[in-house]
């Protein structure tokens, strides 16, 4: 199992989700993707990303303007 970090801070939606979608293509089922973002819309975007993509949202937090998402890749 691999854990990948995607730093999408400073990027506006939909760029963080598009970068996550690209990162997932090189990952295997069960791997985890940690995403850092600063766009407030990222929370809703990544919930939808997980639901439509069959991924699991393991953890979500917000601290000092940075949103953190930990996603288990489906498949």
Is the Cβ–Cβ distance between 57 and 71 less than 8 Å? yes
Catalytic residue among 13, 36, 57, 70: 13
Which residue has 């498949």 as its token pair? Answer: 75
Round to whole Å and give the CA distance between 3 and 10: 22
**Active site (annotated) includes residue 50:** no
Round to whole Å and give the CA distance between 25 and 63: 28
Q: Catalytic residue numbers?
A: 13
């Amino acid at each position: 199992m691999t854990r990948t970090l995607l730093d999408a801070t400073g990027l506006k939606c939909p760029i963080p989700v598009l970068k996550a979608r690209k990162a997932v293509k090189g990952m295997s089922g069960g791997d985890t993707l940690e995403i850092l973002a600063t766009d407030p819309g990222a929370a809703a975007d990544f919930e939808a990303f997980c639901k439509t993509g069959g991924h699991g949202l393991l953890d979500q937090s917000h601290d000092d303007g940075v949103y953190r998402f930990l996603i288990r890749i489906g498949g």
